[in-house]
């Protein structure tokens, strides 16, 4: 089977390509880079593109997809596009401190169900949910559509084994972001923590199989039945990841 088209069946009957292209980039990266990289990714065979309102690059990613449709490289129905709605995920007060609020996730989920029923989206899932939050949705009275996936940080240093087992038991696909290690942004990550791609075990396996540590980390997820996002804005690496 052509690896470019390998997919996993979602509980709603749609299919998600097992390898996705992540488009998030830190603020200092020009947004135009997202257009360039997404075009390269589609040419390399990626059909699953992951973005979000928060990344502030959906317009640029959309331009890339449109141009590849116009060139006849892909049809719209070939592309599995993931967005994450929401205007201001991380509101802060005048001192830059996060403002917390109590939101009933079940009410948000009902709004997502309406979007699916209205035909605005084909599939609906969640991101960064733990088991307790997933159960809150799954046990909701009057649930119409259950989440088809849960996108979380997942890599050999944070393998999410318990969450993966739970998701599998509920027919929810786990989608791994930061699969090659996190972005190491100073505000989130301890700069002294080890760098995944420098890991000696990954390094020795890469040597043994004549691959890169990144490819070993991606393959690890695929063998566990996890849909994995690979993020790179470098042409050589985008092609190598596919």
Predicted confidence at residue 102, as pLDDT, reads: 80
Predicted confidence at residue 201, as pLDDT, reads: 96
Helices 105-117, 131-138: axis angle to 10 degrees equals 60
pLDDT single digits (tens) 187-227: 777 888 889 999 999 999 999 999 999 999 999 999 999 99
Expressed in angstroms, the distance from the first to the final Cα of the chain is 14
Measured at the CA of 50, the angle between CA 44 and CA 56, to 5 degrees, comes to 115
> Is residue 21 a contact partner of residue 242, using CB atoms and an 8 Å limit?
no
pLDDT single digits (tens) 29-73: 888 899 999 999 999 999 999 999 888 899 999 999 999 999 999
Predicted confidence at residue 89, as pLDDT, reads: 72
Check whether 138 has a pLDDT greater than 50: yes
Least confident among 22-26, 123-127, 225-229: 22-26
CATH of domain 7-88+102-241: 3.20.20.100
The rounded distance, in Å, linking the Cα atoms of 218 and 220 is: 5
Q: Which of 55, 81, 89, 220 is catalytic?
A: 55
Question: If pLDDT is split at 50, 70 and 90, which confidence band does 5 have?
Answer: low
Predicted confidence at residue 1, as pLDDT, reads: 31
177 is known as an active-site residue: no
Question: If pLDDT is split at 50, 70 and 90, which confidence band does 3 have?
Answer: very low
User: What's the number of CA atoms in the CB half-sphere (13 Å) around residue 188?
Assistant: 7
Alpha-helical regions (H) of the chain: 32-44, 58-70, 105-117, 131-138, 161-169, 200-209, 213-223, 235-241
Predicted confidence at residue 202, as pLDDT, reads: 96
Predicted confidence at residue 191, as pLDDT, reads: 85
pLDDT single digits (tens) 70-114: 999 999 999 999 999 877 777 888 998 988 888 899 999 999 999
């Amino acid at each position: 089977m052509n690896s470019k088209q390998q997919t996993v069946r979602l509980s709603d009957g749609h299919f998600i390509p097992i390898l996705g292209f992540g488009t998030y980039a830190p603020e200092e990266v020009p947004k135009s880079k997202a257009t360039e990289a997404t075009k390269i990714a589609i040419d390399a065979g990626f059909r699953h593109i992951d973005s979000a309102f928060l990344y502030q690059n959906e317009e640029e990613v959309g331009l890339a997809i449109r141009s590849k449709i116009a060139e006849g490289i892909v049809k719209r129905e070939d592309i599995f596009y993931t967005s994450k709605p929401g205007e201001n995920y991380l509101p802060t007060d005048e001192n830059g401190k996060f403002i917390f609020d109590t939101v009933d996730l079940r009410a948000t989920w009902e709004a997502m169900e309406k979007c699916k029923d209205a035909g605005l989206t084909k599939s609906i899932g969640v991101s960064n949910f733990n088991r307790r939050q997933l159960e809150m949705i799954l046990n909701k009275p009057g649930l119409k559509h259950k989440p088809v996936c849960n996108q979380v940080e997942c890599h050999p240093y944070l393998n999410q084994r318990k969450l993966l087992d739970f998701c599998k038991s509920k027919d929810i696909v786990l989608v791994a972001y930061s699969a090659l290690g996190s972005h190491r942004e100073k505000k989130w990550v301890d700069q002294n923590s080890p760098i995944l791609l420098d890991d000696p075990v990954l390094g020795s396996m890469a040597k043994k199989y004549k691959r890169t540590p990144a490819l070993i980390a991606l393959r690890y997820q695929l063998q566990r039945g996890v849909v994995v996002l690979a993020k790179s804005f470098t042409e050589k690496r985008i092609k190598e990841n596919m």
